[in-house]
A and B are shown apart, each in its own frame.
Chain A
Amino acid sequence: MAQLPGRDRGDLPRASGNGGPDDRAQLLADVRRGMIPAHIYNDRDVFELEKERVFGRAWLFLGHESEIPAPGDYVVRRILEDSFILARGEDGVVRAHFNMCLHRGMQVCRAEMGNASHFRCPYHGWTYRNDGRLAGLPFYQEAYGGEAGFRRTEQRLLPAPRLAVLNGLVFVSLDPDAEPLEDFLGDFRFYLDYYTRQSGSGIELRGPQRWRIRANWKIGAENFAGDMYHTPHTHTSVVEIGLFREPKAEKRKDGCTYWAGAGGGTTYKLPPGDLDERLRYVGYPQEMIDRMKDRLSADQLRVVGEDGFMVSAATIYPNLSFVHNWPKVGDSEDVLPFISIRQWQPISEDETEVLSWFAVDAEAPERFKELSYKAYLMCFGSTGMFEQDDVENWVSLTSTAGGAMARRLLLNGRMGLLEDDTEVVPPLPPERFHGPGVAHTGYGEYNQRALLDRWADDVERAPVRPAPVQLGRRRSTGAPA
């Protein structure tokens, strides 16, 4: 086992060891008790472990079906360094294939979106159908002797080992033996519906905006999972300019965080009222409210209508986040909700590419879609006024975490816990919160700990080591048909 954190460190009083073989065990133990070795936010060795053990195993978001509505539509997305073509075939089926020619490894698609019946490798001209199947290779008889030399039939670009779709969200896993997506997500599916299933037609996406930030990928994931505590301070300015009325400290404290299955999120407490009044309060028009009442379950509606909580930010482990806010979009008191889906795509231990989509219910009125899009642009994304200040914090944190002193510091991530691990505030009882999982009102770092606990479990497990795929030969070991 590679030594985890220790490189050139002096005599440390505690924290994550001295570079010996017990380092990783100590690091994970610290994480699990809520004391976070600061260097995990900027450490090459930690990142190497994450690449194989977190991203080599988890279900990861690749795109949404609405991005490729017609046969032949495709987008190209990465999982770490691996490029995948997510395409809708002529048969309407959505598939993901590794964007690497079977012959010499050239990328067969170098655009990031478009519509194509075939992808032709520019190197030697091998051609693939948009369902991944190898359609032709030049001089097949002369160069290969036909089937006797290269078994062309049934060859296809390497498929993503696993692919599953939920509410139009396409997830892939690099682990051929990954548990089913539904099991992976678990009870978070309950909360996913608020963002992605407000009507029978689901959401449509625009974007993504893409930009790179010099920050570790985990910071955004943790922030969206549960950091209500930062809102009143980091985002003071957006309250001061009258954009968003909710983040005032006392108000945010009345919301709750929840953790369920593979994810968790934050909520705001809504003012008194019934379900319709509360949905109108955040700016939904009646026709959308009626569709939600038709589509969401009784318990999903109770969380809003009876318990009075409205979902805001959330994260699905490891790196997919959501946000739902309701700012003012014009010079009046009216607010309007928007939804964003975002992915924290790791580039290195200290750099992340953010992919930020605007999402809106496909059946929403056109006017609502336009205003919701404006609300999104003002708040989140590359120009968003919330996001601007978030990223400033995360970049600074990452930079500081890369030095020697950060290796001596265990960040206190125990908010919500007393010394003896009892909780400052007990979980909400089922009659006050009708959603699954565990929910707490007020400020606490329950969700950040839950996220890092999952992370620790993955980092601890041996990496997945799938067998290589051998193509064109009789004893092929992979390439499912």
Chain B
Amino acid sequence: MSAAGAVTPRPGRVGRTLPFSDERHLTAHQWLVDEAWLLDAQAYEEWLDLLTDDVRYLMPVRVTTARGAGYDTSPGMAHFDEDKYSLSRRVARFQTEHAWTEDPPSRLRHHLSNVRTLATADPDHLVVDSASLLFRSRGDVREAAFVSAGREDLLRRTPDGWKLARRTIMVDEAVIRMQNLAIFL
């Protein structure tokens, strides 16, 4: 079975949260803020360039379970379970003239907060936790929609700068209140 959040190996965190004054935290935080602006602008081809070729982009389906159950994601099922190829197809679709769900485009705002950075055993990798609240408005009739999620990112230093090697998105709803996820978090 494909890994859902509960069984996904987590990148190894070393030590406590880096001080907010730490150069590595400043780097990671700025990376996330810059990324959020790209996603707001739906500048998806530029966004793809920020992902490593072996990126894994995962958004498990959350389920309501008893406190003692030991899991809160749907076994083997995700909303997104992507690699670079599938993400590139999604981006390519938005570039066609026939992706009706985003034409006219949504107005998007990725509100980013609670950013904290942790070192790993490898100086070329950082783990970054963040909270993301996406506001999405379409047209002028329907109410806007929100998606709230926590994210755990693994950033990797490459010759072309820091890139996203893994993202796990823990959405905060079991039932998504948005007509589709033709967006990225």
Contact = CB atoms under 8 A, between A and B. Distances in A.
Interface in B1-22: 1-2
Given A112-B64, A241-B92, A399 B142 contact: yes
B149 to A, nearest CB: 13
Given A114-B66, A114-B69, A210 B93 contact: no
A211 B96 contact: no
A236 interface: yes
A393 interface: yes
A399 B179 CA distance: 13
Given A385-B90, A399-B142, A112 B65 contact: yes
A212 B180 contact: no
Contact of B65 (A114, A234, A393): A114
Contact of B81 (A353, A374, A385, A393): A374
B98 A207 contact: no
B75 A395 contact: no
A464 interface: no
A207 B74 contact: yes
Contacts of A392: 100-101, 179-180
B141 A399 contact: yes
B69, B80, B82, B99, most chain A CB atoms within 10 A: B99
Given A207-B74, A237-B93, A112 B101 contact: no
B92 to A, nearest CB: 4
B63 interface: yes
Nearest to A236: B98
Nearest to A355: B175
B113 interface: no
Interface in A116-131: 116
A110 interface: yes
Interface residues of B, number: 40
B121 interface: no
B86 A388 contact: no
Interface residues of A, number: 48
A426 interface: no
Given A112-B174, A383-B80, A238 B181 contact: no
Contact of A209 (B66, B79, B89): B79
A377 B64 contact: no
Interface string A453-470: 000000000000000000
A210 B176 contact: yes
Contacts of B61: 207-210
A236 B174 CA distance: 31
Interface string B83-121: 001100110110010111100000000000000000000
B182 interface: yes
A377 B69 contact: no
Given A111-B66, A374-B81, A399-B141, A391 B180 contact: yes
Contacts of B180: 211, 213, 382-383, 387-388, 391-392
Contacts of A215: 179
Contact of A110 (B64, B85, B92): B64
Interface of B: 1-2, 59, 61, 63-66, 69, 74-82, 85-86, 89-90, 92-93, 96, 98-101, 141-142, 174-182
